[in-house]
Structure 1
């Protein structure tokens, strides 16, 4: 049974990231507008353009922004890569998003790729080169011809990452005599299980001396392989302490968030000064303060230990009741959220949950640690470090989460929905293409697709769905 669950839930790792489901339209319902499968897929797709991030708050990171702007405008600077490495939660992605907005307003030729562990798509480099190339085409149609010609090469699938990068990004810039900026955010969240991050870093190393056309702003945590690459490549990296010279930015942020609680501002800032300017710490602390009924008690807790792991424990203790049913509901919901390799919404999780009515209560209580807009919006973790915390028994303790258990929960939920649907109208499973367009059944069928090229999910004695994998072309 475990093997069957594993085969079914493999689809979660590839759904929407690498597959396109082909559905035939239901002619019998042609006069109606069916629930769009494309819409369902788009709704859960992440955005490598960084739409999940916000720009810097006015008055913060001013020296960093000025330094990066000066670097981007230098015509004679021999350093084509600006590498910002700092601890988790310090605001690197916020700065990257700010610069993307600024350079877009300035009408600079710009491409961007925000890596994230939230989804399989944003962890991968599979679509990196074509995403960058498409950004150039969107800005200037003159790039369309050389890029299209390269994409149509019959052997493009056999080329290395570096060859695709040169063919889709560097060569068109050289051919059209254009300068461009590329933002690569969160290098540490680029998956390296199969050497993808190594390929990317090696490609950046190779091109930095050969192509003066492309300037690259890259950010990430100071992981060992990234620091070693920077050392070998002679890429100088910097951090916020060096750029800003202090923690004034965190104070500005706290005063903005707690503007109606002046008596708390100084107390919290005194605590945050020990958090090494980590914005994510200040954000969670402010969220908790604005929701708690006992501010003084919370501040006393926050003074105990100033680390993200401790803050996560405090946030969970304040958010989740200690009774056994509440803790069990927390575990089930977080298992599903962590198991889904593409974010699912509250509404979708409710349909897959083994117990009705538990998802919204838990997600709402965890508002300081989860990101979502409404019931239909995909739920994301506030920060990658929250996943690391939850999946470490040593760090999380009673809040420890095993995502593999969530795989089974999601698979059972999918099968239950399909079973319930078929019991209402058994004959409809003879035509899964039509069934799959129905809003209440398209999600589970999509989640149960196997990930292998050309493979099918075939319920006994019923129809099938074909999977086609996307390529760089």
Structure 2
């Protein structure tokens, strides 16, 4: 599903600012690697960051398409074979010239939409993108939560294809995932950039969580929660935004 079809919150204003700026700077740079991996443990806020980045890139005219994987939603959202057709569909809506090339590709190669992943990518994304996207600016395809796909070997294969084919195209890919073993094997390969959320300084993460808690709990009056209460929640969160978000929903 696209980012705006998911019930995932965007980052609270004033939080994750440097991280989001760094990802957007990567997207806008003509010299940055074409693939950006954002890695983090469960609950660290990867999907929230990805959704916020999608909105930011969309406002800049740089978002080509997005696919948010999820085990909790429909079977298609945890099937790696759904990713390429969805990306192609939204790229086609974004760029009529790309859509025209996809139509030509399907006429020449009928059945490619159900072919093996490598043929899907080359026929439906690779060839149309080479013909349609010839300008200086690369559109970004955002793929969130790859670890939530059911078939880990197919996901590994998909990442191998992306890393091999994307450098030949005027496209970029932002992919997020937990550091699962097979997926982690692809992090940091040539042509890619890796940012691990656990490597961000603890002071920065705690300041973001503090800002989030302060804003979310400001609806309460009578000086509750106190600054001391906020600090206790920050400490208990252990750098995990999901803890802070759950605490806010609970109260």
- SS of corresponding position for 1:258: helix
Residue 110 (structure 2) aligns with:
154
How far, CA to CA, are the matches of 2:163 and 2:179 in structure 1?
17
TM-score w.r.t. length of structure 1: 0.48
How far, CA to CA, are the matches of 1:82 and 1:155 in structure 2?
31
Question: Is the counterpart of residue 216 in structure 1 residue 177 in structure 2?
Answer: no
How far, CA to CA, are the matches of 2:46 and 2:139 in structure 1?
21
Alpha-carbon distance, 1:52 to partner: 1.6
Q: Which of 184, 196, 205 is the matching residue for 1:227?
A: 184
Alignment deviations for residues 124-175 of structure 1 (CA, whole Å, 9 cap, x no partner): 1232212111112211212222101223423426732022112211222211
**Is the Cα–Cα contact under 8 Å of residues 90 and 277 in structure 1 kept in the other structure?**
yes
How far, CA to CA, are the matches of 1:174 and 1:234 in structure 2?
18
Question: What does 1:298-447 align with in structure 2 at a 5 Å threshold?
Answer: none
Question: What does 1:158-173 align with in structure 2 at a 5 Å threshold?
Answer: 159-173=115-129
RMSD, matched Cα? 2.2
Question: Is the counterpart of residue 256 in structure 1 residue 215 in structure 2?
Answer: yes
How far, CA to CA, are the matches of 2:142 and 2:191 in structure 1?
19
**Is the Cα–Cα contact under 8 Å of residues 63 and 243 in structure 1 kept in the other structure?**
no
Alpha-carbon distance, 1:209 to partner: 3.6
Q: 1:146 to 1:274 in 2, by over 3 A?
A: same
Q: Which of 90, 95, 98 is the matching residue for 1:140?
A: 95
Residue 87 (structure 1) aligns with:
41
TM-score w.r.t. length of structure 2: 0.86
Unaligned runs of 5+ in 1: 1-46, 291-473
How far, CA to CA, are the matches of 2:116 and 2:190 in structure 1?
20
Q: 1:62 to 1:157 in 2, by over 3 A?
A: closer
Q: 1:90 to 1:160 in 2, by over 3 A?
A: same
Question: Is the counterpart of residue 269 in structure 1 residue 231 in structure 2?
Answer: yes
Alignment deviations for residues 172-196 of structure 1 (CA, whole Å, 9 cap, x no partner): 2211215311101001112216x32
Question: Is the counterpart of residue 206 in structure 1 residue 164 in structure 2?
Answer: yes
- SS of corresponding position for 2:186: helix
Runs of 4+ residues over 6 Å off in structure 1: none
**Is the Cα–Cα contact under 8 Å of residues 258 and 264 in structure 1 kept in the other structure?**
yes
Higher strand proportion: 2
Q: Which of 30, 34, 43 is the matching residue for 1:75?
A: 30
Q: 1:94 to 1:158 in 2, by over 3 A?
A: closer
Question: Is the counterpart of residue 175 in structure 1 residue 131 in structure 2?
Answer: yes
Question: Is the counterpart of residue 127 in structure 1 residue 127 in structure 2?
Answer: no
- SS of corresponding position for 2:6: coil
Unaligned runs of 5+ in 2: none
How far, CA to CA, are the matches of 1:141 and 1:235 in structure 2?
28
**Is the Cα–Cα contact under 8 Å of residues 70 and 148 in structure 2 kept in the other structure?**
yes
**Is the Cα–Cα contact under 8 Å of residues 80 and 214 in structure 1 kept in the other structure?**
yes
How far, CA to CA, are the matches of 2:110 and 2:139 in structure 1?
28
Q: How many aligned positions are there?
A: 240
**Is the Cα–Cα contact under 8 Å of residues 65 and 141 in structure 2 kept in the other structure?**
yes
How far, CA to CA, are the matches of 1:225 and 1:233 in structure 2?
17
**Is the Cα–Cα contact under 8 Å of residues 48 and 122 in structure 1 kept in the other structure?**
no
- SS of corresponding position for 1:75: coil
**Is the Cα–Cα contact under 8 Å of residues 87 and 221 in structure 1 kept in the other structure?**
yes
Q: 1:124 to 1:233 in 2, by over 3 A?
A: farther
